[in-house]
Amino acid sequence: MHEKLKKEKFVIRSLVAPCYSEPSFNSSKISEATFGEQVKVLGVKGSWLNILQEDDYEGWIKGFYGTLEEEPVKCEYIVIDKHPLPFGSRVQKLNGQYKTINEDDYNFSLEPVKIGEVTSLDSLLSYARHLIGCPYRWGGKTSGGFDCSGFVQTIFLLSGLRLPRDSWQQSEFFKDSFISGEQSKPGDLHFFGKNSKITHVGISTGGLTLVHCQGWVKEESFSDEISGNKKLADMYMHTCSVELNFD
């Protein structure tokens, strides 16, 4: 790789930038990079960039979604409105004014949150509930569309806790913190799957209830009661305490 590229970051300047498993739109979409995010360039193939995101997730992104820069501005604030910028976008704060990476003024309804600013699990849960109704999108990490683990990852980023990208990786991250699902506290994580493979995750609201993205962001029970999500109950694997890992 060209020596100059080793010194540069790729800055996302579109609302979302899909990441693929290979340098082709015909390959699988595996994640997204969000507006204002900076990613490391690992290699180049034609107009495609092999990137490494902040969560150590590697993929391929088309070069027209942003710009290469040696010293990009750091966007340390997360948008918590749903529009005109989606929840999960990054903005900067200069002289008391929030600005996008494209240097436009950002006029918010709900003030952006600095990464690491949220210090309680109850507060994180309130942000999760704020997103109820947002649609599901494979690989999504914003209110324009989340997948299950992208939803969890984005919520916990508000606290500065940087979780890995996929649900099975998030389970591994908390592997020393297994607890009873019935005794989970708000902010803990419930994991689901089949044949010992984790495929889904949601944020506990206490006991066997959760906020999660399955079709859309919703709050429901996964107990065996009549009102519970029986299919989700059948997929239940385990619960992990987040409190034990939360400063």
Domain boundaries, the chain: 3-69, 121-245
Specify the fold of 3-69: SH3 type barrels. (2.30.30)
pLDDT of residue 4: 56
Q: Cα separations (Å) of 140 from 146, 170, 183? A: 4, 16, 30
Specify the fold of 121-245: endopeptidase fold (from Nostoc punctiforme) (3.90.1720)
**pLDDT tens, 81-102?**
999 999 999 999 999 999 999 9
**pLDDT tens, 32-76?**
999 999 999 999 999 999 999 999 999 999 999 999 999 999 999
| Residues in contact with 100: Cβ distance below 8 Å, sequence separation at least 6, in sequence order | 35, 36, 85, 89, 91, 92, 106
Fold matches, 3-69 and 121-245: no
Q: Which of 18-27, 62-71, 118-127, 224-233 has the lowest mean pLDDT?
A: 224-233
pLDDT of residue 227: 75
Q: Cα separations (Å) of 183 from 48, 111, 179, 215, 244? A: 47, 34, 7, 26, 14
Mean pLDDT of 170-196: 95
